[in-house]
Chain A
Amino acid sequence: MIEFKNVSKRYAGNQALDDLNLTIPTGDFFVLVGPSGSGKTTTLKMLNRLIEPTDGDIYFDDKRIIDYDLKQLRQQMGYVLQNIALFPNLNIQDNIALQAESLGWSRKRRIDRARALLAQVDLDPNQYATRMPSELSGGEQQRVGIIRALAIKPKVVLMDEPFSALDPISRKQLQDLVLQLHQELKMTFVFVTHDMHEALRLGQHIAVMRLGHIQQIGTGEAIMQHPANDFVQGFFENEHTPRPATIHDLLAQGYGEPTTASATLTATATVNELAAALKTQSTAAVMTDHGPRQLTTADLLDYLATKEAD
């Protein structure tokens, strides 16, 4: 269990966090969400003491984190960065195994662990283990970034906007991946995002933050149904009143393949118009900023199904 008690942080007269009180239950998937400047990343980085509070105390398993040996504290916490930050001089398995190396694991044990983790996230160890980070795509790199944080089986995994730089398809796949990993591993996940949609999709509990204050803490459902104030309500507005879905939304979710066929639809057409087009033919070509793309009936059904699930 993690507890923030009256935690404040000031930078040269600027109040980044003001009297923060927060409890994160063990094994929870806890999301800190808010616009930039809300203090969500500051809150996260206080847990592994990359940032020290000006006032107040943070407890981890009923002991103040400043009473832990710094190295030991950090070795109980995995960390995933927004910019992934794989070490470019180390190959994939050495990146994953670095924290284990610092704990003094034998080479065989840590390499085995790295390869097992790669297999777990569908990256073939025989193919990926000895590659360099620059040889991987952004999505693949962040997969490695996530399993690197899991390598030493930490109690807590801290994730600082890990998917904000990724394309929609990779983002969706990785959201699925962390949900699955959270279920399998029973670790506490603390996740920072500015994307309300991502917060609702992932979080068991969500803390909505603004200007160094917590606006509301609760399950996604509770917050959606009973927003504590106008700010929270406004932040969730898009989720409440969906506008008619357009083909643009499908494309934004990563559906559609490039095609050479001449386009019959534009991206602003609604999903209904797409459905009408797909009644007469198996694919429909859409003009986009990046040239024509074709959508299939399967794409449409898949999209609608996912949307329902949300």
Chain B
Amino acid sequence: MSQINHILQTQGGDILHAIGQHIGLSLISLLIAAVIAIPVAILLMHHERWAKVMLQITSILQTIPSLALLGILIPIVGIGTVPSIIALVIYAVMPIFQNTYSGLTTIDPNLEEAATAFGLSRRMKLFRIELPLALPMIISGIRIATVMIIGTATLAALIGAGGLGTYILLGIETNNNALLIIGAVLSAILALVFGAAIDWLGKLSFKKAGIVLLTLVVLIGGFAGYRKIANPQTTITVAGKLGSEPEILINMYKDLIEHDHPNIQVTTKANFGATSFLFKALQSGSIDIYPEFTGTVLESLVKGEKSASHDPAKTYQTAKTALKSQYQMAYLKPMQYQNGYDLAVTKQFATKYHLKTISDLVAVEDKVHAGFDPDFHQQKDGYPGLSKAYGLKFASVKTMEPSIRYKAIANGKVNLVDGYTTDPEVQEYHLVVLKDDKSFFPPYQGAPLMTEKLLTQHPELRTTLNKLAGKVTTTDMQKMNYQVSVKHHKAATVARDYLRSHGLLD
């Protein structure tokens, strides 16, 4: 609870921004869905066969899992707000269409007969009689759609459209329940508030409800238009993966670029998504730069370079060459720190057996009870390879979710875990990282990735971003991660402090 309070106090602005994004995304999707579904239902109200077809289509669309739908949309429209809105609209169309159609077609036939017999025009019949009578059903359809949209919109964070889902994803990713609760509870509250607002709207007369809806459309449209006009055109978008480390890095990029080139404005998109989303976003031009690891480039992005070398410089060169030839991308020089696998033990355990390197473990291997991430336990560059390279065999090995490992070692359930070199928990739980003295783990060094096109347009970026080359040690990164993800300081502040204290910014 105190952690939630702390986050609310320190990141209140960001959370408000996320709520704003969430509401914007939801309302725009809802309006588009209503603008599609209601007129179509009106058009089809006297064509039962076509209406049935339409119902079938919308029902089928409804059954596509939201993640799959996003996956289908990414190659077509890229990532970010547009595919999120398309997916949400697709989901929202069905309840609105279905309710509008049944509302219009279940009107008492006597009332229809009366309206016809009075010689009312089609238009007057629709607006004076049919739509008002169907309104409660239409409103309830919109209500269902709204609650659904607000819930589903949390997934938009996966493809970089922001919103409250960012906190949910981040919470899951970093095992931070407070963030998860903030994201989940706020989106639930949003759903309730909007449900109530729509109920209130339903109680208004047909005319007043129309006026309220129209005002909303104008406001949102006006706001979107204003944002478009107010934003200068020479902007560079820097995005980062989920987590504190990428967020710190992209804030460093922003500060450096804006400091060196006042004519360029940098937009940061933190927690933009996972590796493949970011890479596709870069390819499609939705974003301009993001920090990527040399090891990840070879493992997941480029073809035919799987066997990573254990030499960091060689790994970087291979990655750089492959990115250039396969994707026409420029990969600037990496920073110093390594974010690869490591093995960590408690301070007591290290002191007791004088452990400094992984080789030191051989002598005490029958006393080691390890807790490993399932991937690490299976992958060749994980425990099986390590065991072969060092001739190690631990007394017991348990596999557990990455997020639980550190808790397990803190509680004494295990006495050795795998981890990433820059994990803030190393500092939080006072762990000792053992040196990989045989250079077994493949190197993972962070470096800015961008298209060659961008670098041609803005060659000045190379010098600016290369200021970070060889800077930022593993300990630096650990400390900064600790500041942000445990102490909840703002990533932007932590980044700026680092740049200032290392003379990169004045």
Give 22 CB contacts A-B under 8 Å. A48-B117, A50-B116, A70-B119, A71-B121, A72-B119, A74-B117, A74-B118, A74-B119, A77-B117, A79-B114, A79-B118, A83-B110, A85-B110, A85-B114, A87-B115, A89-B206, A98-B118, A99-B118, A101-B128, A102-B119, A102-B120, A158-B117
Within 8 Å CB of A287, what residues of B?
Answer: none
Q: How many residues of A contact B (CB 8 A)?
A: 22
B108 close to A85 (CB less than 8 A): yes
Within 8 A of B (CB), among A86-114: 87-90, 98-99, 101-102
A89 close to B133 (CB less than 8 A): yes
Is the C-beta of B506 less than 8 angstroms from some C-beta in chain A? no
* Pairs of residues from A and B, 9 with the lowest C-beta to C-beta distance, nearest first: A74-B119, A79-B117, A85-B110, A89-B132, A85-B114, A75-B119, A71-B119, A99-B118, A83-B110
Bits for A127-164, please: 1 = Cβ < 8 Å to B, else 0. 00000000000000000000000000000001000000
Within 8 Å CB of B129, what residues of A?
Answer: 87, 89
A99 close to B128 (CB less than 8 A): no
B132 close to A102 (CB less than 8 A): no
Is the C-beta of A46 less than 8 angstroms from some C-beta in chain B? no
Q: Give complex CA distance A255, B108 in Å.
A: 34
Within 8 Å CB of A48, what residues of B?
Answer: 117
Within 8 Å CB of A99, what residues of B?
Answer: 118-120
Distance (whole angstroms) from the CB of A51 to the closest CB of chain B: 11
Bits for B95-129, please: 1 = Cβ < 8 Å to A, else 0. 00000000000001011011111111100100011
Q: Which residue of A lies closest to B125 (CB)?
A: A102
Is the C-beta of A73 less than 8 angstroms from some C-beta in chain B? yes
Is the C-beta of A166 less than 8 angstroms from some C-beta in chain B? no
Within 8 Å CB of B121, what residues of A?
Answer: 71, 102
Pick the contact of A87: B114, B116, B119, B206 (CB < 8 A). Answer: B114
Q: Which residue of B lies closest to A71 (CB)?
A: B119
Q: Give complex CA distance A99, B129 in Å.
A: 12
Within 8 A of B (CB), among A174-224: none
Distance (whole angstroms) from the CB of A164 to the closest CB of chain B: 14
Within 8 Å CB of B119, what residues of A?
Answer: 70-75, 99, 102
Known contacts A85-B110, A85-B111, A87-B111; is A50 also within 8 Å of B132 by CB?
Answer: no
Question: Known contacts A89-B129, A90-B128; can you find 6 more A-B pairs with CB under 8 A?
Answer: A50-B116, A81-B110, A88-B111, A89-B132, A89-B133, A98-B120
Q: Give complex CA distance A79, B128 in Å.
A: 18
Q: Give complex CA distance A89, B209 in Å.
A: 14
Q: Which of B113, B119, B132 has the most CB of A within 10 A?
A: B119
Known contacts A83-B110, A85-B110; is A98 also within 8 Å of B117 by CB?
Answer: no
